[in-house]
Chain A
């Protein structure tokens, strides 16, 4: 017999009403390997992990640990078997310190008093062993996302878990943090931990994983060695067809100015300084402009200011020749569509059915509301069905599916459908491909380019370097709330872009953008 697997899930089948989330799936995790689980949104990855973690019970199939069949009825069982999980959305108590979060649930006490010293020593030892830098006394709300993730990893290690599940761990990280995470995962493997790595980013699989199991629409497609499989092959396994990894587009034909931002300044909610400082630029009809930058450099606040969610401290916004600086969100939405950064917080009313979400920006229009103020439910249903079909939004029960019950990718598709279909001249797309798989990303990019070619202006805000390099016609780099550079994606390199994003370089462009960078800044740059 082969060396028994650390964990084996054999012929797992899990059904939900209207859908088979896992159809006869087998997953075998060797001891001391990083095993990637690859699949599109809604392919059944998370359901499978939920079965492993005891959140769901499979109808068919068995789970074996070290060759012995085990029963996992709840997360506590999973924990007892040494299975730990870092969720995509962290489960940390915001107002507790790192250390308090790590020991939460496994505190050792003496006469009812917490014994922290022992725990502190153990956490310190673990963080040194695996290169997990954390400040044990910092509060979660004060630390970066990357450090929060390290806290989650330490939580698993503190519990002596042998099998570690990472659920799309890189979705929230900056490029640098992603590299650090990869390093950490390598360290963990070297120490004999077995890692299940859920992702749909092929680069990351290539970088760290040993083997990869691919799921598609709830079915098991295969398990292959990463070293001998190309990215193209993997993406074909995942999507079921060839995926064009390079974005096809013709050169842009920019025309009239659609959006003009002058000296925009937006206050920060986090600190006393302004989050967006004196930003000016233009976006033309028929071009895609991308604001690139590392997360947290004012992009979010900039979008809030632009869309009317937050007031401006200073500056002026002109949309299609109209001053909208003080306009309400609703007034702006006549010409502006907004794919928000956070689809759960802003983009959807999760407890509403899909059809109601499809009309979230238009419900008040005569098409969907009668003069007497009653909703035209028939029209809403028909509209939703049309959008679902046109944009391939998949859901369990069609228009009446509660948005919460849809997969992340399909939720995003629904938002894009809604925003693209409504009247607009400017599309503001904030990280529109966040958390999407290769196939879906391709679709979104095509959509953005189609928008451009139909003569609209597209403002893309992105953190993904690949997207920044491939999709837009112009790149503006934002650093600490300022536009520090304008680049031509055809002429620049990732390395150069990285320097701008890290604030190590500034430029003044010859064309339209030149006016907004103050002379003093140019001098500063030249001095540097």
Chain B
């Protein structure tokens, strides 16, 4: 009994448990919605969402589908890392989609118009994201403009700017609203597969972007928790005034944080568009969901860079799985609806964590949890009344 209690109080265990609760609850509500629309196919549909690639007939097809999911997990993970990194510094980078768009814009333009190789394209995409991110950062640091507001506005500005730039003669396929396929436009801009494609039934969209994204997750985790740089950034996030008092350049830190966040999102875009998985549609009128799904992946991943790896894969997997639902039974919007319900519930991780801690402390006869135990006076006050 004692052991079980202490396990429940372990913060990492709590994160994982609450994430799982969110997933189960999301699936359950999704299932109810499916039942309401058409009870006949509900069981089958929810199974399809969950199993995703495993529903394919042959082993080879399964591997190929898994490859597709992984190929899209990499950009999602990068967006999630962008949001996670900024969140740890106390900034909510809802501008990730805009930074992602900027990355796609410059990455593809460099590939198709300037015929750069993939490394250059990747770096330029990162730079473009960083520039957009630092706009929000500078506004926040010097004019105290909320980064959420400026981020959302930049999302739209960047969307149409990207549409405009990528409609240019050199980059757009004249026969369709899409940009020219990299395979025909500039093979050198395709991120190398390094043989990974062989593992996934020769799915050429499986590239080194996937291990790179995981590497980035580890890197971000190391920077935040082990370095002087991370120490400064987190101190700034927790208490800007104390950071200033300690002689940190708190304004610069805010800009740098959003610039790094922007670079991560920009690389995310490169990880999708430079694999040849898809082309940019110059007629799209909505901000790509990748950046927003990154928010869900961040929270589902317990706000931990390593956690976001698994969360990103899960979210991408149910999104892909949703697309496989039998469209003769359900309307075609169903896949997006169900996956968004699940993703929405993923955002409730913090809420469940809070509820769980309350529940534990009730069981402990009123003692609060170890993590936020106010031992004495001031803490008791802070917890007691302020909010």
- Which A positions have Cβ atoms within 8 angstroms of B? 14-19, 21, 41-42, 44-47, 50, 53, 55-59, 75, 87-89, 91, 167, 307, 309, 328-330, 332-333, 338, 340, 344-352, 356, 360-361, 363-364, 369, 373-375, 377, 395-396, 401-402, 404-411
Please provide the chain B residues from 6 to 36 with a CB less than 8 Å away from any CB of chain A in the complex: none
Q: A47–B368 Cα gap in the complex (Å)?
A: 13
User: Is B384 in the interface zone, CB < 8 Å from A?
Assistant: yes
Which of B227, B368, B375 touches A406 (beta carbons < 8 Å)? B375
- Say yes or no: is B289 at the interface (Cβ < 8 Å to chain A): no
Point out the residues of chain A lying under 8 angstroms from B368, CB to CB: 16
CA A465 to CA B235, docked complex, whole Å: 35
| Chain B residue with the shortest CB-CB distance to A346 | B245
Asked whether A352 and B235 contact (CB < 8 A) given A46-B380, A338-B245, the answer is yes
List residues of chain B with CB within 8 A of the CB of A167.
381
Q: Which residues of A contact B231 (CB under 8 A)?
A: 356, 363, 375
User: With a CB–CB cut-off of 8 A, which chain B residues contact A330?
Assistant: 247-248
| In contact, A55 and B385 (Cβ under 8 angstroms) | yes
Complex contact B235–A369 (CB within 8 A): no
Q: How far is the CA of A67 from the CA of B235 in the complex (A)?
A: 50
Given contacts A59-B365, A87-B385, A349-B239, contact A309 B375 (CB under 8 A): no
Q: Decide if A407 touches B377 in the complex (CB within 8 Å).
A: yes
Contact at B384–A50, with CB atoms within 8 Å?
Answer: yes
Minimal Cβ-Cβ distance residue in B for A334 = B247
Q: In the complex, are the beta carbons of A408 and B377 less than 8 A apart?
A: yes
Indicate if the CB atoms of B242 and A346 lie closer than 8 Å: yes
B228 on the interface (CB 8 Å rule)? Answer: yes
Q: Which of A88, A332, A363 contacts B381 (CB 8 A)?
A: A88
Query: Judging by beta carbons under 8 Å apart, are A329 and B245 in contact?
Result: yes
14 A-B pairs with C-beta separation under 8 A: A17-B370, A42-B375, A46-B377, A59-B365, A59-B366, A75-B385, A87-B384, A329-B244, A333-B247, A352-B234, A360-B235, A360-B242, A361-B247, A411-B378
**CB proximity of A405 to chain B, nearest CB, Å:** 5
Q: Nearest-CB distance from A501 to chain B (Å)?
A: 27
**B243 closest partner in A (C-beta):** A349
C-beta contact mask, B345-387 vs A, less than 8 Å → 1, else 0? 0000000000000000000011110101111111111111110
List CB contacts (< 8 Å) of B201-252 with chain A.
Answer: 226-229, 231-232, 234-235, 238-239, 241-248
Contacts of B380 in A (CB 8 A): 46-47, 50, 55-56
Report yes or no: B228 in contact with A309, Cβ–Cβ below 8 A: no
CB of B88 to closest CB in A, whole Å: 11
Out of A41, A361, A375, A405, name the residue touching B228 (CB < 8 Å): A375
Expressed in whole angstroms, the Cα–Cα distance for A321 and B383 within the complex equals 47
Contact A349 B244 (CB under 8 A): no
CB contacts (< 8 Å) of A15 on chain B: these are 367
**Nearest-CB distance from A248 to chain B (Å)?**
29
Set B227, B378, B383: member contacting A407, Cβ < 8 A: B378
A332 to B229, CA, bound (A): 21
Instruction: For B382, list chain A residues within 8 Å (CB).
Output: 404
* Chain B neighbourhood of A50, CB < 8 A: 380-381, 384
- Given contact pairs A53-B384, A329-B245, A360-B242, A375 touches B226 in the complex (Cβ within 8 A): yes
Give Cα A404–Cα B238 distance, bound, in whole angstroms: 12
Does B235 lie within 8 Å of A349, measured CB to CB?
yes
CB-CB under 8 A from B366, the residues of chain A are 14, 56-59
Minimum CB–CB distance for A153 against chain B, Å = 16
The 7 A-B residue pairs with the shortest CB-CB distance in the complex, in nearest-first order: A330-B247, A57-B366, A407-B376, A46-B377, A346-B245, A329-B247, A55-B384
Q: B33-48: contact bitstring with A at CB < 8 Å (1 yes, 0 no)?
A: 0000000000000000
Q: Which residues of B contact A328 (CB under 8 A)?
A: 247
Q: How far is the CA of A522 from the CA of B273 in the complex (A)?
A: 77
Distance, CA A54 to CA B356, complexed state (A): 20
- In chain B, what residue has the closest Cβ to A91? B385
B373 CB contact (under 8 Å) in A17, A53, A309, A356: A17
Docked CA distance A167–B377 (Å): 10
Nearest Cβ on chain B to A479's Cβ, whole angstroms: 27
Give chain B residues whose Cβ lies under 8 Å from the Cβ of A57. Answer: 365-366
Residues of B within 8 Å of A410, CB to CB, are 376
A352 touches B238 (CB 8 A): yes
State A233–B42 Cα separation when bound (angstroms).
77
Which residues from chain A contact B235 at a C-beta distance below 8 Å?
349, 352, 356, 360
Instruction: List A contacts of B377 (CB < 8 A).
Output: 41-42, 45-47, 407-409
Write out the residue numbers on chain A whose beta carbons fall within 8 Å of the beta carbon of B245: 307, 309, 329, 338, 340, 346-347
C-alpha gap A58/B367 in the complex (Å): 9
Please indicate the chain A residues that have their CB under 8 angstroms from the CB of B374 in the complex.
16, 404-405
B241 partner residues in chain A, CB cutoff 8 A: 345-346
How far is it, in angstroms, between the C-alpha of A344 and the C-alpha of B242 when the chains are bound? 8
A18 to B228, CA, bound (A): 31
**B370 to A350, Cβ gap below 8 A?**
no
Residues on B with C-beta less than 8 A from A349 are 235, 238-239, 242-243
Chain A residues with Cβ below 8 Å from B383 are: 55
How near does chain B come to A138, taking the closest CB pair, in angstroms?
A: 23
Across the interface, name the chain A residue whose C-beta is closest to B384: A55
Q: Which residues of B contact A21 (CB under 8 A)?
A: 375-376
Q: How far is the CA of A330 from the CA of B367 in the complex (A)?
A: 41
A369 to B231, CA, bound (A): 11
For A88, list chain B residues within 8 Å (CB). Answer: 381
Give Cα A369–Cα B228 distance, bound, in whole angstroms.
7
CB distance A405 to B384 under 8 Å? no
B239 and A350 contacting across the interface, CB-CB below 8 Å: yes
Contact indicator B242/A345 (Cβ below 8 Å): yes
Within 8 Å CB of A42, what residues of B? Answer: 375-377
With contacts A17-B367, A91-B385 known, is A309 near B378, CB below 8 A? no
Please report the C-alpha to C-alpha distance between residue A17 and residue B375 in the assembled complex, in whole angstroms: 8
Most buried by A among B243, B372, B373: B373
Distance A396 CA – B232 CA, assembled complex (angstroms): 25
Give A328's nearest chain B residue, CB to CB. B247
Question: Considering the chains assembled together, what is the distance between the CA atoms of A363 and B243 in angstroms?
Answer: 12
How far is B242's CA from A409's CA once the two chains are assembled, in angstroms? 18
Q: Which of B228, B234, B248, B367 contacts A373 (CB 8 A)?
A: B228
Cα A447 to Cα B49 with chains together (Å): 67
Residues of chain B within 8 A (CB-CB) of A350 are 238-239
Alpha-carbon distance A375/B230, docked complex (angstroms): 9
Most buried by B among A55, A352, A405, A407: A405
* A373-B227 in contact (CB<8A): yes
| Interface pair B228/A348, CB less than 8 Å apart | no
Cβ B239 vs Cβ A364 within 8 A: no
A373 neighbours in B (Cβ, 8 Å): 227-229
Residue in B241, B246, B365, B376 whose Cβ sees the most chain A Cβ within 10 Å: B376
Let me know if B379 and A405 touch, CB within 8 A. Answer: yes
B365: chain A residues at CB < 8 Å are 57, 59
Q: Which residue of chain A is the closest to B239 with respect to CB atoms? A: A349
Instruction: State the CA gap A363–B242 with chains docked (Å).
Output: 14
Query: How distant is A58 from chain B, measured CB to nearest CB, in Å?
Result: 7
Partner of A375, one of B227, B239, B242, B375: B227
B238 touches A396 (CB 8 A): no
Give B243-264 as 1s and 0s: 1 = Cβ < 8 Å from A's Cβ atoms.
Answer: 1111110000000000000000
By a CB distance below 8 angstroms, the chain B residues around A374 are 226-228
Residues of A within 8 A of B239 (CB): 345, 348-351
